[in-house]
Amino acid sequence: MGVYCQMLEDAAIMKNLTGLKKVLIITCPGCACESLSYDKQLPNRSLAEGKGFENIAIAVHRERDRIAQICAAAGIETDTITVAFPCELVETECERIVLAAENTDAVCVLACSGGFLGIRDIMPDYPGKIIPLMKSAGTFVFHLAIDPAGSYSLVKRQGARILHFAPAAAED
Ligand code: SF4
């Protein structure tokens, strides 16, 4: 069972980035990839062998590139890194992230809410903004199809089981 996460609205994302010059987009190739393959019917993962987990996630990288294009159109430069499992970071990954974020105005996290918190927690001294691009919306059990050429998987809508989180109770 994975974490079903959905993109925030482009307008809300760009509102957070208004006036910034350079941002780092951190991409999780885990459940975020299946979630986007399901939501947007994008190819999920490449089935090519020997590429490594970070490099086979197609859907989430296409969405990252789409956001980067919107940023470019708004005059915002983007750097990108892909981090396997921001929800359970190892020390070497933490150092890589902090280094990659140097000289940026914001870090954008393309992962579920747990991934966002995982990144935020290791950057207490980061002077810029740390911005989520997705939100956790539930959990999933998906079924995958393979494209006719056998080059990638695709999350099928048929048979998908998504357990949506209950909406947060209104505060007084
Ligand atoms: S950070 Fe979230 S989306 Fe990425 S692998 Fe962990 S639970 Fe899944």
Within 8 A by CB and 6+ apart from 145, the residues are: 153, 154, 156
Q: Which of 25, 70, 62, 64 is nearest to 42 (CA)?
A: 62
Query: What is the distance between the alpha carbons of residues 65 and 82, in angstroms, rounded to a whole number?
Result: 12
pTM of structure:
0.95
- With bands split at pLDDT 50, 70 and 90, how would you rate the model's confidence at 171? low
Distance, CA of 101 to CA of 67 (rounded, Å): 18
Task: Tell how far the Cα of 73 is from the centroid of ligand 1, in angstroms.
Answer: 29
- What atom in ligand 1 is closest to the CA of residue 35? 3
- Residue range 56-63: mean pLDDT, rounded: 98
CB proximity list for 71: less than 8 A, separation 6 or greater: 14, 17, 23, 77, 78
* 84 CA distance to ligand 1 middle (Å): 8
User: Is the distance from the beta carbon of residue 135 to the nearest atom of ligand 1 less than 6 Å?
Assistant: no
Contact indicator for 80, 47 with CB cutoff of 8 Å: no
Q: Is the CB of 23 under 6 A from ligand 1?
A: no
68 lines ligand 1 (CB under 6 A): no
Ligand 1 pocket member 26 (CB < 6 A)? no
Q: Report which protein residue has its CA nearest ligand 1's atom 5.
A: 30
> What tens digit of pLDDT does each residue of 79-127 get?
999 999 999 999 999 999 999 999 999 999 999 999 999 999 999 999 9
Q: Does 172 have pLDDT greater than 70?
A: no
pLDDT 10s digits, 122-155: 999 999 999 999 999 999 999 999 999 999 999 9
Is the minimum distance from the CB of 134 to ligand 1 under 6 angstroms? no
Residue 166 has pLDDT above 90, yes or no: no
Collapse the DSSP code of 132 into the 3-class scheme (helix H, G, I; strand E, B; otherwise coil) and give the result.
strand
- Rounded distance from Cα 172 to ligand 1 centre (Å): 31
Residue 169 has pLDDT above 80, yes or no: no
Q: Which of 82, 116, 87 is nearest to 7 (CA)?
A: 116
C-beta 139 within 6 A of ligand 1: no
Cα→Cα distances 171→23, 124, 167, Å: 33, 28, 12
Q: What is the pLDDT of residues 65-92, one digit of tens each?
A: 999 999 999 999 999 999 999 999 999 9
Residue with the nearest Cα to atom 8 of ligand 1? 31
> Which of the four pLDDT bands, split at 50, 70 and 90, describes residue 162?
very high
pLDDT of 168 reads 73
Q: Is 29 in the pocket of ligand 1 (CB under 6 A)?
A: no
